[in-house]
Amino acid sequence: MKRIRTVIDMFVLAVALAATGCGDMSHRGTDTVVGAGVGAVGGAVLTGGSALGTVGGAAVGGVVGNQVGK
Express each pLDDT in 6-32 by its tens digit.
Answer: 888 887 887 777 677 766 778 888 888
- What is the model's pLDDT at position 67? 94
- What is the model's pLDDT at position 2? 78
Choose the weakest-confidence range: 17-21, 39-43, 47-51, 55-59.
Answer: 17-21
Distance between CA atoms of 6 and 1, rounded to whole angstroms?
Answer: 9
CB under 8 Å to 33, separation ≥6 — which residues?
A: 18, 22, 25, 62, 65
Which has the higher per-residue pLDDT, 52 or 30?
52
Over residues 38-54, mean pLDDT: 89
